[in-house]
Structure 1
Amino acid sequence: MFVVGADLTRLSCDDVLVPTDRSLRVARGWRPLLPPELVVDEQAEGDCIDLSWADGERVLEVPGSGLRRAWLVDTVDDRGRGLPWLLEGVREALAAVACREVVEPVHGRARRLVGLPALGTGWGGAAGQRGAGGAAGQRGALLRELLPVLREAADEHGFDVALVLRGPSDLAAAQRVRRGQESGWDLPGHLRELAEQLGERARRGQLALFIGAGVSAAAGLPTWEQLVDELAGRSGLDDALRAGLSRLPPQDSAALLARELGSEKLEAFVAERFGPGPYALAHALIADLPVQEFVTTNYDPLVELAATDIGRQVKVLPCDEAEPGAPWLLKLHGDAAHPESVVLTREEYLQFGNTGAALAGVLHSLLLTRHVLFVGTSMLDDDLIRIAHQVRTALQTQGSGTARRTGTVLALREDPARARLWEQDVETVAMGAGDDSPAEAARRLEVLLDLIGCLSTPPTGYLLDPAYRGMLNEEEQALAQALGGVVDALPEDAASTAALEVAGLLRRLGHGGSAGEGDDRPVDAATRSRDDRPQEQRPG
């Protein structure tokens, strides 16, 4: 069972639970999950769906033939039946999902993935609306009861469940509940210890991420070999030449195909194939981490899309201008949004070695000043090898010939020779064990990222959110009350540096809640602001 900050309409999964009421009214934000022909009446508070309930029914499967199936769930408690009624509806919905046969999970996952929002937190559900009065302050009670139900259903039905939240305070509260429950991660001891170490580094602002092609493969994007094969299919080469491509190094295969296709067709292909689309669970888990610096050799925009969906405005280098305190993502080999920048062929790799020194220097800096977590890469890229060698040389202690490790590689399978090759530079940790399939190893990687995210999420992100007042202990309640005076004293049009710093601190502590975020009504991530800097990187 995963907890992740994301937009459920853009998360790649097999099944999605969509909240509704007895009139089959659905919030406008869920429209991307529903066939357009089913919407029969558009209203200010939501759209009516052309389906009907049977007597006593609370779950409806939405007709469709795509990779993702939507399920309508009645979550609006207009009779005061309370939290037990809502939780029973969640159990009923997940049991119905389990009855649908799925031959192969989306994009080859080891298990099918079922996504749902915090059901019952919008439109007056069992947990109540944000604000004063009624059931306010009891969203923490919902999370405490909901999370075990989701975990039990995942165990019973053999699929994965992702609770998808949109607001920082919602995510912080959920992670606090999970830390207190001490269960939910099926990981061996050494991976739990690794998660604790990496979580601590992330909290202290000492962790950076390197993201390889394996992460985007989980969203259906091609690996290098698959990319060459797809380009070959468009090239018009005869069978003999196509067969010969497999005997060439990948960059040389790409060079031949680029020459056959021409730069215009190649750039159009890159822009189309690696453009915006649904992102994988791993993208969302990575984007959630309290990390400021990311580097990738991928061309796609999926990490930055996942970050934007939780209110993190990531600057993409080198095209964007970095801003103090803002997270950034360096695209080392180019960006599909600028296909002319993509490094693909042997010639382009050689040119990068000569002209990409400034970009490589950023990764040099991170390896020297941070602990870099490598995810989804086999560490075979020539540029990575060259950069690691240069950093190793710089770090060697004069006369001793030794150097410290600068990162951790999360590999899918054990490869003792490659681990020994890189042991001077990084620690290599395999996700797979024994006869585990690549898909099972990739799933264990997701579980590890989920645990790192849980352990690294600041535990105070909901302190000033009235929806979670019920989670505060006596000391925290006193602090929240004292900080409420600061909120009252802060001018709405504050513009001074001091006032903006205080406002940023209050937001990080949950002031303003999430304005509807994280509940069962999607909102526009662009309307939010968030300061995710780890404590050591914040002014003051």
Structure 2
Amino acid sequence: MTPGHVFVVNGRLEKLGWDAVVIPTDAPFSVRSQWRAAAGLSESDDWRALRPDGWGRGSVGVAARRNLPRAEVWFVDVVAHSPHDAARAARRAVESVARHAPERLRANAHDAGRDLPLVAVPVLGTGGGGHGASRSALLHSLVAELGTAAENESVDVAIVAVSRSDYSALQQVRRDAGVAPALPRDLAQRARQLAAPAARGELALFLGAGVSMGAGLPSWAGLLTSLTAVPEVQATLGGIDPGGLSSLEQAELLQVVLDEHHDPRALGRHVARIIEAADARPSLTHALLAGLCVREAVTTNYDRLYEDAVRAAAPAPDSGDPHDVLSVLPWGRVQGDRPWLLKMHGDVHYPETIVLSRSSFVGYDSRWKPVGSILQSLMMTRHLLVVGASMTDENVLRFAYEVAGLREELARQVPAHRQAGVLGTVLSLEHAPAFERLWQGRFSVVPTAPDEDRRPLTDEASEEEKDARRRRAARSLALFLDTLALHAEGEAEHLLDGRYAPARGGDQAVLIERLRGAAADARRLATHDPAWQPVSDSLARFGAFEGPAEHARR
């Protein structure tokens, strides 16, 4: 039985794909409204409809009514005498989830592409549980108790921290406790090496379809299959079977016949409908990547799952508009320190921009050349982390070869100015020596598949075996990204959080209180004199406005 693992993500429960969620409450079953979306309740729904049978003090139970398809909602009474007791209640909740209907739980996880069931929990016990003032002790106990439950019950647990300060503190707790995902030593070392440029802000992301497949969206081949199954498309094909063509040519055929019978935007609209009909949530991989707070990212995906994950991890903007935390190019503009995402192949909200057919790839330069130039600039100036992409996209290949060729030419012309290092790192879901050799000197290729899957599958391998290997590879990738995130996050985000000051004690606690007071003064002065705003913003990045108001005077 595979031992489970405790992941830590920054975000919101309702913006993560999971198999079960644990929601905190108390003996009278008082549940805070912030958990409504996670439980599938509207603002007008009554929590009592979900109250488990026989609910009382110390209870753990599954919702009386199933609100969400293929996912379970659980409740736990987290009111306890001590932080450790609250953490033990969290452990009992995860154990109850795992033992309630294990076959169904595991089957649902496999259907979603997960090797082990994923149980999502908030930072239990810090709100109505009453142990917010003992936050540091509580987090240490939570990490230990949930780790034991995950390992013994063979389920993965995601602690979802809404606040960046709590996320930072949880990572610090895990480092102090020596918690490490079950990765081979060389793979863990590669993750730690990537954490250094991530922490310095030198990492950029390139995301392919493999990231969104983990959220239940189709692969390229799966998307084409879904398109040909659309009645309107079948009617326009007139009985023609496109199966003998390559993927690009299949898409081109669909583009041609739809153009003849409808309009040039019809293919994009069908693609958008298929993706939106999946009603997917960000995967664990999306959430782990969003937690890295990478400022620059590029994707060939049409969906908006990475955007959702980034917005879920970000504090609410002053405008109140969640879209203000991320700029999406090429439609938006880069603004200040705001992170941005470049959509290379279009977006479901703009179906006419979707790049899928052979002609759209051939004509890419005439329509989207400046977009490709942005990707090339990242290859020149950042370390590009490639996740979920097979590196077979013809345009991406051309951009990479052009940059690599330029660097090689410059090195020949001026050997003293030879640029050290590679363009980036490709996280590969399988061991492929030929692929690694092909990119040697240009990209580092890190196979994240577990050791047991190093050998290629035989031609006789069943679909079940192939699916199982894909699930194991996806989980191994998540463990790699969790290790990267663990070591990329420092203590800065919760350094001035008043909720963690008591654990530091002495001179540190005194200095924290002074700086929090200074932050509150700077924020107040900034309302009249904008010169103080950068001071307020700088201290806010260290958690100065998190925690008890008496410390921050806000």
TM value normalised by structure 2 = 0.85
Structure 2 counterpart of 1:364:
376
- Cα distance, 1:166 vs structure 2: 0.6
Distance (whole Å) between structure 1 residues aligned to residue 523 and residue 266 of structure 2: 55
- Cα distance, 1:28 vs structure 2: 1.5
Letter of the 1:28 counterpart? S
Contact 2:265 2:352 in 1 (8 A): no
Show CA shifts across 1:242-296 (max 9, x none): 3xx3332211101112333444543332333334741101111111103110000
Q: CA RMSD in A?
A: 2.5
Structure 1 segment 164-313 matched on structure 2, within 5 A:
164-234=160-230, 235-236=233-234, 241-242=240-241, 245-261=242-258, 262=262, 263-275=264-276, 277-311=280-314, 313=325
**SS at structure 1 position matched to 2:14:** coil
- Cα distance, 1:122 vs structure 2: 1.2
Distance (whole Å) between structure 2 residues aligned to residue 423 and residue 455 of structure 1: 26
Structure 2 counterpart of 1:430:
447
Distance (whole Å) between structure 2 residues aligned to residue 158 and residue 192 of structure 1: 21
Contact 2:27 2:55 in 1 (8 A): no
Show CA shifts across 1:50-103 (max 9, x none): 5442566611111326111000111134xxx22233223212211111112222
Letter of the 1:146 counterpart? L
Letter of the 1:116 counterpart? V
- Cα distance, 1:419 vs structure 2: 1.3
Distance (whole Å) between structure 1 residues aligned to residue 335 and residue 43 of structure 2: 44
Contact 2:214 2:283 in 1 (8 A): yes
Tell me which moved more, 434-443 or 335-344: 434-443
Letter of the 1:145 counterpart? S
Does residue 15 of structure 1 match 2:20?
yes
Contact 2:87 2:125 in 1 (8 A): no
Aligned equivalent of 1:24, options 19, 22, 29: 29
Structure 2 counterpart of 1:121:
126
**SS at structure 1 position matched to 2:425:** strand
Does residue 320 of structure 1 match 2:308?
no
Cα separation, partners in 2 of 1:37 and 1:319, compared to 1, 3 Å: closer
- Cα distance, 1:383 vs structure 2: 0.8
Structure 1 segment 85-96 matched on structure 2, within 5 A:
85-96=85-96
Structure 2 counterpart of 1:459:
491
Larger RCO: Structure 1 or Structure 2 (Cα < 8 Å, ≥ 6 residues apart)? 1
**SS at structure 1 position matched to 2:13:** coil
Cα separation, partners in 2 of 1:239 and 1:95, compared to 1, 3 Å: farther
Show CA shifts across 1:470-490 (max 9, x none): 332545324313313422532
Letter of the 1:174 counterpart? L
Distance (whole Å) between structure 1 residues aligned to residue 171 and residue 84 of structure 2: 22
Does residue 486 of structure 1 match 2:486?
no
- Cα distance, 1:355 vs structure 2: 2.8
**SS at structure 2 position matched to 1:388:** helix
Distance (whole Å) between structure 2 residues aligned to residue 347 and residue 288 of structure 1: 37
Contact 2:27 2:56 in 1 (8 A): no
Point out where structure 2 has 5 or more consecutive residues left out of the alignment: 1-5, 316-324, 454-468, 550-554
Distance (whole Å) between structure 2 residues aligned to residue 197 and residue 153 of structure 1: 30
Contact 2:498 2:547 in 1 (8 A): no
- Cα distance, 1:337 vs structure 2: 1.2
Cα separation, partners in 2 of 1:505 and 1:96, compared to 1, 3 Å: same
Contact 1:168 1:514 in 2 (8 A): no
Tell me which moved more, 92-101 or 339-348: 92-101
Distance (whole Å) between structure 2 residues aligned to residue 339 and residue 196 of structure 1: 39
Distance (whole Å) between structure 2 residues aligned to residue 141 and residue 57 of structure 1: 21
Cα separation, partners in 2 of 1:459 and 1:487, compared to 1, 3 Å: same
Letter of the 1:4 counterpart? V
- Cα distance, 1:41 vs structure 2: 4.3
Tell me which moved more, 101-110 or 383-392: 101-110
Cα separation, partners in 2 of 1:370 and 1:474, compared to 1, 3 Å: farther
Structure 1 segment 382-393 matched on structure 2, within 5 A:
382-393=394-405
Structure 2 counterpart of 1:506:
539
Contact 1:151 1:184 in 2 (8 A): no
Contact 2:298 2:342 in 1 (8 A): yes
Give the fraction of aligned pairs with identical amino acids, expressed as a percent. Answer: 33
- Cα distance, 1:147 vs structure 2: 0.3
Question: More helix per residue: 1 or 2?
Answer: 2
Distance (whole Å) between structure 2 residues aligned to residue 55 and residue 510 of structure 1: 37
Letter of the 2:343 counterpart? K
**SS at structure 1 position matched to 2:301:** coil
- Cα distance, 1:451 vs structure 2: 1.3
Distance (whole Å) between structure 2 residues aligned to residue 37 and residue 330 of structure 1: 33
Distance (whole Å) between structure 1 residues aligned to residue 43 and residue 62 of structure 2: 12
Distance (whole Å) between structure 2 residues aligned to residue 474 and residue 441 of structure 1: 47
Show CA shifts across 1:186-213 (max 9, x none): 1111122112211110111111010110
Distance (whole Å) between structure 1 residues aligned to residue 46 and residue 452 of structure 2: 53
Aligned length: 498
**SS at structure 2 position matched to 1:372:** strand
**SS at structure 1 position matched to 2:402:** helix
**SS at structure 1 position matched to 2:171:** helix
Structure 1 counterpart of 2:391:
379
Distance (whole Å) between structure 1 residues aligned to residue 303 and residue 548 of structure 2: 30
Point out where structure 1 has 5 or more consecutive residues left out of the alignment: 129-135, 517-540
Distance (whole Å) between structure 2 residues aligned to residue 497 and residue 427 of structure 1: 46
Letter of the 2:540 counterpart? R
Distance (whole Å) between structure 2 residues aligned to residue 346 and residue 37 of structure 1: 44
Distance (whole Å) between structure 2 residues aligned to residue 122 and residue 52 of structure 1: 24
Distance (whole Å) between structure 1 residues aligned to residue 389 and residue 510 of structure 2: 47
Contact 2:36 2:43 in 1 (8 A): no
Letter of the 2:475 counterpart? R
TM value normalised by structure 1 = 0.87
- Cα distance, 1:34 vs structure 2: 3.4
Show CA shifts across 1:199-245 (max 9, x none): 11011111101011000001111110000000011121679733xx3
Distance (whole Å) between structure 1 residues aligned to residue 511 and residue 304 of structure 2: 40
Distance (whole Å) between structure 2 residues aligned to residue 326 and residue 55 of structure 1: 46
Letter of the 2:286 counterpart? H
